[in-house]
Amino acid sequence: MPPAATRTEPPRTTPSPRAAASQNAAGNEHIWIEPTERSALAAAGLDTVAQVMATDAGRCLRALRDRENWRLELLDSAGQARGAFLKKHHVRGLGNWLRAKLGLPLPATAGRTEAENNDRLQRAGIPAMRTIAFGERLLEGGLLESFVLTEELTGFTQLDHFLRKRFAELNTTKPVSNPDNANQVAALARLSLRVAAIAGRFHRAGFNHRDLYCCHFFIREDAAGDFEVRMIDLQRVQHRTRLRRRWIVKDLAQLHYSAPREWVSCSRQMAFFKQYLGVERLRPQDKRLLRSVLRKRWFMERKLGPCP
């Protein structure tokens, strides 16, 4: 299991979402906005929790009983439209009703948690999404509302979709049959090692995702053939200093399970795992971890069937 790394946090000139939330934990309503985004949200009429929770000035991507996903457009300082993603959460329960009646502090909300996790990962040098704003409030009837607004990852595609599109012409059985195919093989190797390095850094920093499927890595390739990677959907991310092995195994098994089979050869799995661990040769403890990951992936496939 990768050892936990010591993290040094650079000084910040503006409060982080985590600091802002802790300073305002005693109230029943709070909003944090990135200072550079305040004018844009004010112009859009989105600078209070009530306004954000009520807005329908965008495209609803998904609506479930307790949450909604929206794509909005904000204007930058030059008046140019840019995309942003909004997650709204709304939970009602007896505990929240009692909190409202007794005037107790807000519990940890989904919106605040994801904003804090975005901030933590950025501080640890792990590429994630930039938080524009988050907010939370507890209404008298016991309805707990929260949201997180993040920048749109322009030009990025989720990993499994990216693999199927970018490497559709790859011939995995004859990787050096022609120069174009050899270039594809080399590009796939670069991408795999890039994702492995970020996953390794994520775990060594003490985090676990709990939903580390391919769809939660977003990829963009630049003109030079280098790959940018971002981690998303961080609401369930945890930071642990002990008893981490189970969660690391689960994360890696989820990633392996959700990767398209045609591009996950045994040799590529081994290269990925060595890069993830930062070793040139697997040690006995590394082999035990790898066997646990493969066993967990096998149980997932037996229970859920092949990943679509």
Using the 3D structure, point to which of 104, 122, 151 is the last residue of a domain.
Answer: 151
- Provide the pLDDT for residue 42: 94
Using the 3D structure, point to which of 88, 123, 151 is the last residue of a domain.
Answer: 151
Q: Is residue 3 part of a domain?
A: no
First CA to last CA distance, the chain: 29
pTM: 0.85
Per-residue pLDDT of the chain (308 residues; tens, 9 = 90+): 443 333 333 333 334 555 444 334 445 889 999 999 999 999 999 999 999 999 999 999 999 999 999 999 998 877 789 999 999 999 998 989 998 888 888 888 999 999 999 999 999 999 999 999 999 999 988 999 999 999 999 999 999 999 999 988 777 666 556 677 788 888 999 999 999 999 999 999 999 999 999 999 999 999 888 999 999 999 999 999 888 999 999 999 999 999 988 778 888 899 999 999 999 999 999 999 999 999 999 999 999 998 87
* Single-letter amino acid, residue 138: L
The total number of structural domains that make up the chain: 2
Contact 141, 99 (CB under 8 A): no
Contact 293, 253 (CB under 8 A): yes
Q: Which is nearest to 149 in space by CA: 80, 205, 73?
A: 73
97 and 131 belong to one structural domain: yes
66 and 161 belong to one structural domain: no
Q: Is residue 7 part of a domain?
A: no
Q: For position 203, which CATH number holds? A: 1.10.510.10
Could you list the residue range(s) of the whole structural domain that residue 176 is in? Answer: 157-304
162 and 128 belong to one structural domain: no
- Provide the pLDDT for residue 260: 87
Contact 107, 144 (CB under 8 A): yes
Containing 149, the helix (H) or strand (E) segment is strand 143-151
Q: Is residue 11 part of a domain?
A: no
Label residue 66 exposed, middle or buried (CB < 10 Å: 0-12, 13-18, 19+).
exposed
Q: Is residue 228 part of a domain?
A: yes
133 and 177 belong to one structural domain: no
52 and 166 belong to one structural domain: no
146 and 163 belong to one structural domain: no
Contact 145, 49 (CB under 8 A): yes
163 and 63 belong to one structural domain: no
179 and 195 belong to one structural domain: yes
